[in-house]
A and B are shown apart, each in its own frame.
Chain A
Amino acid sequence: MIQSKLIKRPKLVLVVDDQEINRDALEVTLEEDYEIIQASNGLEAMEQIEKNADRLSVVLLDLMMPVMDGFEVLNRVNAEEHLRHIPVIVLTAEKNAELRALEMGAADFITKPFDVPEVIIARVARIIELSEGRQLISAAEHDRMTGLYSRNFFFEYAHRLFHYSPELHMDAIVMNIEQFHTINAVNGRDFGDEVIRTIGGEIRGFLLETEGIASHFEGDRFAMYCAPQTDYQALLDRIQSKVNGLSQNVSVHLRMGVKPWQDGVEPEFMFDCARAACNMVRGDYQNPLMIYDEDMRKRELLNQRLLNDLRSAVENRQLTVFYQPKYDIQCDPPRLGSAEALIRWNHPELGMISPGDFVPLFERNGQISIVDTFVWHETAAQIRRWEEKLGRRIPVSVNLSRADVFDPTLVDRLERIVRDNGLSFSDMKLEVTESAYTDKANDLLEVVHDLRQLGFEIEMDDFGSGYSSLNMLSAMPIDVLKMDMKFVRNIENNEKDLRLVKLILDIARNLKLRVVAEGVETEGQLKLLRDAGCDLVQGYYFSRPLPPEAFEALIEREMTIERG
């Protein structure tokens, strides 16, 4: 362990007096413990103070001096933010001057003529100690980059407001930056820091206009505890607009969660709720503001329950895989080509839970891997069972989530599942969602490459649902493109959507990719897609997702039709 005295910085003392004997007397008294510099009037003193502002531990200042007196020095030191932290001890023989100097910000006084040196030494040491203590507290109290409170002090002060000023009704606000680590990685830390400083500056400006305190926790996380606002969107827009001004080339998106004041609710819980609200809008660039309400509380409780229950759901076979057929529409009549595996959860107390209620939740916290692994095993076994029973092997697509991509055993596990069930790799197709691409693209590309080398076919799911689909298309080797259902929905009555669909089909043709259109519900949609050259469709027009037994019946029907 390093001795604490080695960590202490050398202490520099400036002695200011027009009488050399006074300066010498103080120097000889203090030189054993401190490095001493001298000035003989106020002007010289200000030069030394400016020059040594970061090193000065204390200034011993005579009040009556030629050129510039000590009062003027005190004035100037207190007027400058970067000098104000330097404690000043005045040297005086006059009671009136003592009082005036203390009122002007002097830390202490030493009477002249100098009498007992030990008193001087003790006073100087005490003032330095107090000042260093204050500076340490100040450094810990504030975040250096933004000037906002640090996390611990913020919560301490929020607590005090809550307990000692209960008449103040304060809302809790949490604000994050979308993909901040990517912004740092792509644009450099300096730019990231500038973003943080800009947000901090705007929050400080906001708090000049309203009651409240704020903190920069760490990374991209900000918190405010402030008087209720009528329009939080306006506050978010105001800060977002400042950030937008930083660069024309970089898009930085903020999101905000708000927990409105609630009688008797402690700040910690308020901020848990605000953070949950903020997390709910992660990645939602269109609606980056979420106000925590009763529905959210219920939603949170449900989420927590689902997270807790997932493992037992797998063990107790509450999860079931449903299958939705995909039809080849370039033949007449359309023919069953393959299927997509879709998870369902039949909870013993909550009943049938929609995948929309738990898949995004598990995707966020990584537990989706448990679901995906279950689906892969079930699907591979099911393909095998159908083949054994019906003599027909139906390829089925399964999901590959972002969390799976970062599992180093992924390729081996998938290979083993296929081999253990006696399938070929093209029997289990892998659907990669855009969410898997948004981060660490290189990892994904590497995994996809390895899987294709084995013989797996890769389908890009939900093409067109996010902004980076075209990037993905150019970077990632895929075999099938699944067109998002929002394109198909309106093609019968919206010429623009139809043109867009045709454009996507053109792109796919040029890249020699097959296209699956999702969400087909009407014969009209089917006809337009077939005429435009779409290969496969999936949707309620042919069939909703079916449990294995019902899908088996569907295969049998199809086989009967095929046999003529």
Chain B
Amino acid sequence: MTIRELYQEIGGDYDQALRVLRVEKLIDKHIRRLTQSGVVDRLLAAGESMDAVRLFEAAHAAKGVCGNLGLSHLSEMASELAEEYRPGNPRRMTDEQVRRKLDEIAEAYRRAEAGIRRYEAL
């Protein structure tokens, strides 16, 4: 499996990742690190406690990392949560809607995680 095929499989935007990271080697390095870094796991963990500060910080970090990796769908969902919990912003979603958003993130992330594992195995 090539890295481009991985991106196709997990619904990522390889060209966007290449625009940011310039060389495939760096995309390879950071896509492999995505799971180890725990950046999305921390967001999901924050969702379990529904702690607003942790949710904002974790969503903010996940938005940046996923955005740079061209994982646009994950990045956009993390961005919605970051705005939801940004200090000073009025809440627009109910807790239930937040949980559903977190479930969507978890599912997209699991799909990406599985793809990355297969990519690493080859």
Which residues from chain A sit less than 8 Å from chain B, CB to CB? 18-22, 24-25, 28-29, 64, 93-94, 96, 112-117
Contact = CB atoms under 8 A, between A and B. Distances in A.
Contacts of B86: 94
A63 to B, nearest CB: 10
B115 interface: no
Contacts of A112: 64, 67-68
A361 to B, nearest CB: 75
Interface stretch (B16-24, B93-101, B106-114): B16-24
B23 A114 contact: no
B65 interface: yes
A114 B63 contact: no
B75 A21 contact: no
Contacts of B68: 19, 21-22, 25, 112-114
**Nearest 4 Cβ contacts at the A-B interface:** A113-B67, A28-B22, A21-B30, A114-B20
B29 A24 contact: yes
Given A21-B33, A24-B30, A113 B23 contact: no
A156 B33 CA distance: 59
Nearest to A32: B22
B45 interface: no
Nearest to A97: B86
Interface in B72-122: 75, 79, 86, 88
B61 interface: yes
9 contacts: A20-B30, A20-B33, A25-B20, A25-B26, A64-B60, A94-B86, A112-B68, A114-B20, A117-B22
B26 A24 contact: yes
Contact of B64 (A19, A24, A29, A117): A19
B67 A25 contact: no
A112 B75 CA distance: 11
B41 interface: no
B55 interface: no
Contacts of B75: 113
B104 to A, nearest CB: 19
B22 A29 contact: yes
B26 A28 contact: yes
B57 A64 contact: yes
Contacts of A21: 21, 30, 33, 64-65, 68-69
Interface in B1-59: 19-23, 26, 29-30, 33, 37, 39, 57
A114 B16 CA distance: 10
B57 to A, nearest CB: 7
A146 to B, nearest CB: 48
Contacts of B69: 21
B56 to A, nearest CB: 9
B64 A93 contact: yes
B23 A28 contact: yes
A270 to B, nearest CB: 57
B103 to A, nearest CB: 23
Contact of B20 (A18, A19, A96, A113): A113
Contacts of B37: 20
B65 A19 contact: yes
Given A19-B64, A28-B21, A29-B22, 5 more contacts: A24-B21, A93-B63, A113-B64, A116-B19, A117-B20
A168 to B, nearest CB: 47
Q: Of B23, B57, B61, B63, which is in contact with the most chain A CB atoms at under 10 Å from its CB?
A: B61
Contacts of A116: 19
A93 B88 CA distance: 16
B65 to A, nearest CB: 5
B63 A113 contact: yes
A115 B20 contact: yes
Contacts of A93: 60, 63-64, 79
A232 to B, nearest CB: 59
Contacts of B23: 28
A25 B63 CA distance: 15
Contacts of A114: 20, 68
A28 B19 CA distance: 11
B11 to A, nearest CB: 17
Contacts of B61: 18-19, 64
Nearest to A120: B20
A255 B60 CA distance: 66
Contacts of B67: 112-113
Nearest to B82: A93
A255 B59 CA distance: 70
Q: Of A22, A116, A117, which is in contact with the most chain B CB atoms at under 10 Å from its CB?
A: A22
Given A21-B65, A21-B68, A93-B63, A117 B19 contact: yes
A409 B60 CA distance: 87
Contacts of A20: 30, 33, 37
B119 to A, nearest CB: 17
Nearest to A31: B22
Contacts of B26: 24-25, 28
A19 B66 CA distance: 11
A21 to B, nearest CB: 5
Contacts of B22: 25, 28-29, 117
A112 B81 CA distance: 16
A115 B64 CA distance: 11
A403 B13 CA distance: 86
Contacts of A117: 19-20, 22
Contacts of A94: 86
Nearest to B19: A117
A372 to B, nearest CB: 81
A113 B72 CA distance: 10
A117 B86 CA distance: 27
B63 to A, nearest CB: 7
A30 to B, nearest CB: 10
A22 B66 CA distance: 11
B41 to A, nearest CB: 15
Nearest to B83: A94
Contacts of A115: 19-20
A138 B19 CA distance: 38
A113 B26 CA distance: 16
Contact of B21 (A19, A25, A64, A96): A25
A303 B49 CA distance: 93
Contacts of B21: 21, 24-25, 28
